[in-house]
Amino acid sequence: PEVPAPRAIRELPDELVSQIAAGEVVERPASVVRELVDNALDAGARNIQVKLMAGGVRAIVVEDDGCGIPVAQLPLALKRHATSKIASLNDLESVATMGFRGEALAAISSVSDMAIASRTGADAHAHRLDARSGELQPAARGRGTSVEVRELFFSTPARRKFLKTDATELAHCVEAVRRHALARPDVGFAIWHEGKLVDQWRAASSEQRIADVLGEDFSAESRPFEYSAGPLALSGRAGLPEAARSRADQQYVWVNGRYVRDKLISHAIRSAYEDVLHGQRQPSYVLFIEIAPELVDVNVHPTKIEVRFRDGRAIHQSVRRAFIDALAQSRADAAAVESA
């Protein structure tokens, strides 16, 4: 066969670069919700409102009462690789914020109609920047930030076709907020859809928040645990084997407040249930892992849902031990009740 003639190499226009990059970060409305709530938490918000239209496809508005963005910096917030959260590689190694790439707002704005309104404690009023037109206007709101994302993927129809029904997209958005809500019981959350309140969680203790989000049944059918080993602190609730489910839909793990999916950790937990769970039954659990930031690399996945541990074996052992102890303790408690 003929070898094709070489084709000219071109630099892609910025807009296209952003749209391609957005493909990694923004998969569906729930990805936008996650990024915007991450930002609100990084800004120190005490209350976060998430307002959706048509499952988030028509509109996602996230309002917070955090520190706000100085008006002079508003345009920068929308630029790629612009962030207030790290300044050096050193910072990246000890990063304590949810964000650090400076990509989310740029990515989202390249595949939607975005506006951002913000007011800092020092501002007399808020300012609203329309990402598309670049127009900056005075706006009314208290301290904090509102990000409005409308018509997601309107300019990328190929992407839009992958969206499911509004009901399914809404369920994913709600799930994204639940993950944040479980990890941050000190913050109040409310989710609205089409003007109606879907769910609301007021600031509470961690125990109360878990019951509020996952239900009293989950709390009744799980055992709390705490476990620490060197630089590692684990806490959470281990679901009782009797309450195992046919689906793995109540398995939550966070590393330093960031929700993650990690094969090593789920394997460790699964192995703790080895003797008490059979077949395809799925345990329910919440697990909060706190670890020194330099022992975990959070910069391995564009959406940061995967992390890499410096010492995976130690994590595996500790997680397994924490769950085995919790399950043994719950059996001991049950036996004590029976013999009393």
Q: Which parts of this chain interact with ligand ADP (CB under 6 A)?
A: 35, 39-40, 43, 64, 66-69, 77, 83-85, 99-106, 145
Residue of 275, 282, 269 lying closest to 316 (CA atoms): 269
**Shortest Cβ distance from residue 99 to ligand ADP (Å)?**
2
Nearer to ligand ADP, 85 or 281 (CB): 85
Residue 83 binds which of Mg ion, ligand ADP, none (CB < 5-8 A, kind-dependent):
ligand ADP
Distance CA(179)–CA(267), nearest Å, equals: 20
Q: Which residue's C-beta sits nearest to ligand ADP?
A: 99
Distance CA(188)–CA(305), nearest Å, equals: 23
**Shortest Cβ distance from residue 98 to Mg ion (Å)?**
6
**Shortest Cβ distance from residue 21 to Mg ion (Å)?**
14
**Shortest Cβ distance from residue 281 to ligand ADP (Å)?**
39
DSSP for 277-318, please give it: --TT-B--EEEEEEE-GGGEE-TTSTTS---EETTHHHHHHH
Nearer to ligand ADP, 101 or 180 (CB): 101
Place of tokens 């995976």: 312
Q: Pull the structure tokens for residue 173.
A: 């958005």
The DSSP letter of residue 245 is: B
**Shortest Cβ distance from residue 122 to ligand ADP (Å)?**
14
Binding site for Mg ion (CB under 5 A): 39, 99, 104
Residues, the chain: 340
- Torsions phi, psi for 199 (to 5 deg): -155, 150
Nearer to ligand ADP, 45 or 327 (CB): 45
Nearer to ligand ADP, 27 or 311 (CB): 27
